[in-house]
């Protein structure tokens, strides 16, 4: 009974998260990168955990940013979902996602890296294009990263890029403080 009750509470909370999530939010808010990550993990963290994916978060940033919070959460969610897809599809042993926040001279940076084996060199230049997907029709529209790039670079005055790290793909989001 107790477990069921906890789970219902969790689901209720998830519904609230989603309700707020899809509200059009055109108002910028003061926030931090770590807070945006934590809020996103409240939505998708449990699903990742159920799939056996471990998540490591390392916070090395200190400054606040003034931005469209729900839009950035949407981007983080897209990237995490892609990582989940690849880790499941390739049946990676000890699947894990590492999320790091850091800052450089004029940007707050979020890095999201998985150990799913990365993106082949001939695919990498195309992943931010609309309708580009290596998944079949029902599993991918190819719009996730295109939308993410539009949000970060056209709405939020930032930059998003992808590289291959040692174990898998690494997505880098750079945000200005204002």
Ligand X SMILES: Nc1ncnc2c1ncn2[C@@H]1O[C@H](COP(=O)(O)OP(=O)(O)OP(=O)(O)O)[C@@H](O)[C@H]1O
Contacts with Mg ion, residue ranges (CB under 5 A)? 82, 144
Residues that contact ligand X, how many (by CB under 6 A) = 21
Alpha carbon distance 173, 156 (integer Å): 11
Of the residues 135, 155, 161, 163, which one makes contact with ligand X according to CB under 6 A: 135
Site stretch for ligand X (CB under 6 A), options 25-33, 54-62, 66-74, 113-121: 113-121
Rule CB under 6 A: say whether 156 interacts with ligand X.
no
* Contact track, ligand X, 47-86, x by CB under 6 A: -------------------------------x---xx--x
> Which CB contacts under 8 angstroms, 24+ apart, belong to 75-79?
75/147, 75/148, 75/151, 75/152, 75/160, 75/173, 76/36, 76/37, 76/40, 76/110, 76/112, 76/173, 77/40, 77/43, 77/44, 78/144, 78/145, 78/147, 78/148, 79/112, 79/148, 79/171
32 binds, among ligand X, Mg ion, none (CB under 5 to 8 A by kind): none
- Cβ contact 97:63 at 8 Å: no
Contact status: 140 vs ligand X (CB under 6 A): yes
Q: Where are the beta strands (DSSP E) in 60-168?
A: 65-67, 96-104, 107-114, 159-164
Binder of ligand X out of 77, 114, 152, 156 (CB under 6 A): 114
Stretch that binds ligand X, among 2-10, 49-57, 98-106, 140-148 (CB under 6 A): 140-148
Residues near ligand X (CB under 6 A): 78, 82-83, 86, 114, 116, 119, 123, 127, 132-135, 140-146, 169
């Amino acid at each position: 009974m107790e477990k069921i009750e906890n789970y219902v509470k969790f689901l209720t909370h998830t519904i609230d998260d989603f309700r707020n999530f899809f509200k059009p939010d055109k108002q910028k808010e003061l926030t931090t990168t770590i807070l945006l990550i934590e809020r996103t993990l409240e939505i998708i963290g449990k699903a990742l955990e159920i799939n056996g994916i471990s998540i490591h978060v390392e916070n090395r940033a200190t400054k606040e940013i003034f931005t469209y919070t729900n839009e950035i959460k949407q981007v983080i969610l897209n990237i995490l979902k892609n990582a989940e897809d690849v880790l499941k599809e390739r049946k990676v042993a000890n699947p894990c996602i590492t999320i790091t926040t850091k800052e450089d001279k004029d940007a707050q940076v979020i890095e999201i890296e998985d150990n799913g084996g990365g993106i082949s060199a001939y695919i990498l230049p195309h992943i931010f294009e609309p309708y580009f997907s290596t998944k079949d029709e029902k599993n991918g529209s190819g719009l996730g990263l295109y939308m993410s790039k539009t949000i970060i670079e056209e709405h939020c005055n930032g930059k998003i890029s992808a590289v291959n790290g040692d174990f898998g793909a690494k997505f880098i989001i750079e945000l200005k403080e204002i």
